[in-house]
Amino acid sequence: MKVTAGDALHIAQLARLRFSPEELEILRQQMESLLSHFSRISELDTTGIPPTSGVLPLVNVMREDIARPSLAVEDVLRNAPDREGNCFRIPTILEEE
């Protein structure tokens, strides 16, 4: 199982994680070794085996369409790193568009 430096960087960017080059290299090696270990599952023939994404026998769990009170605005914003009035504030992101 080969994980290239490029792969590691790409994954770090997808996951929005910053690493120093040294950290990323250690992580790359760990990923390579762990994934090599994990790729053992490829030994198994799983042709025709359905995937399990949940173990419950439940289907169609729904609630009725009844509106209930929301949180108080102050509770919504209580942990905000930055706010203006009753809105969350972030540095402008226009350049990201």
Partner 1 sequence: MRSPTIGLEVHVQLNTASKMFCSCPVEFGASPNSRVCPVCLALPGALPVLNRQAVESAFAVALALHCQIQSFSQFHRKNYFYPDLPKGYQISQYDVPFSRNGYLMVETEQSKRRIGIIRVHMEEDTAKMMHGRSITEHATTSLLDFNRSGVPLLEVVSAPDITSAEEASAYLIEMRAILRTLGISSGNMEEGALRCDVNISLDGGTRAEVKNVNSFRSVRKALEYEIERQTALLDKGEPVVQETRHFEESSGITISGRTKEEAEDYRYFPEPDLVPLKITPQWIDAVRQGLPELPEERRRRLHEMGLFPAEATTIANAPELARFFDRTLSLYPNGKEIANWLLSEVSKTLNARNCTIDEIPLRPEDFAELLQLIHRGTISSKIGKTVISEMLATGKGAGKVVQEQALGQILDLETIRGWVREILAQNPKEREAYRQGKDTLFGFFVGQAMKRSEGKANPELLNRIVKEELDSDE
Partner 2 sequence: MNPLLQRPAYEILPMLSRGELSCRELVEISLDWLSQTEDRIHSFLTQDGERALAKASALDQQRSKGEMPGPLFGLPVAVKDNLCTKGLRTTCGSRILEDFIPPYSATVIERLEQGGAVLLGKTNCDEFAMGSSTENSAFFPTRNPWDLERVPGGSSGGSAAAVASGQVFLSLGTDTGGSVRQPASFCGLCGFKPTYGRVSRYGLTAFASSLDQVGAFARNVRDCAMLLEAIAGYDPLDSTSLREPVPPYFRELENNPGSLRIGFAGDWLAMGLAPEVERTFHRALDTLRGLGFTIESISLPHSHYALPTYYLIAPAEASANLARFDGIRYGLRVPGENLKDLYQATRGQGFGAEVKRRIMLGTYALSAGYRDAFYLKAQQVRTLIRRDFEQAFGIVDLIAVPTAPSTAFRLGEKVDDPLAMYMADLFTIPISLAGLPSLSLPMGIERGLPVGLQLVGPALAESRILQVAWRFQQTTGLHDLVPPLAEASRA
All residues at 6 or more sequence positions from 32 whose CB lies less than 8 Å from its CB, including other chains: 1, 2, 3
CB of 86 to partner 2, least distance (A): 13
Alpha-carbon span 93 to 65, nearest angstrom: 35
Contact partner, 68, from partner 1, partner 2, none, Cβ < 5-8 Å per class = partner 1
| Residue 63: φ, ψ to 5° | -115, 160
Positions that interact with partner 2 (CB under 8 A): 3, 7-8, 10-19, 27, 30-31, 33-35, 37-42, 44, 46, 49-56, 58, 61, 63, 71-72, 75-76, 78-82, 88, 90-91, 93, 95-96
Is the CB of 46 or the CB of 53 nearer to partner 1? 53
Alpha-carbon span 97 to 79, nearest angstrom: 27
Is the CB of 48 or the CB of 54 nearer to partner 1? 54
Hey, how many other C-beta atoms are within 10 angstroms of the C-beta on 12? 16
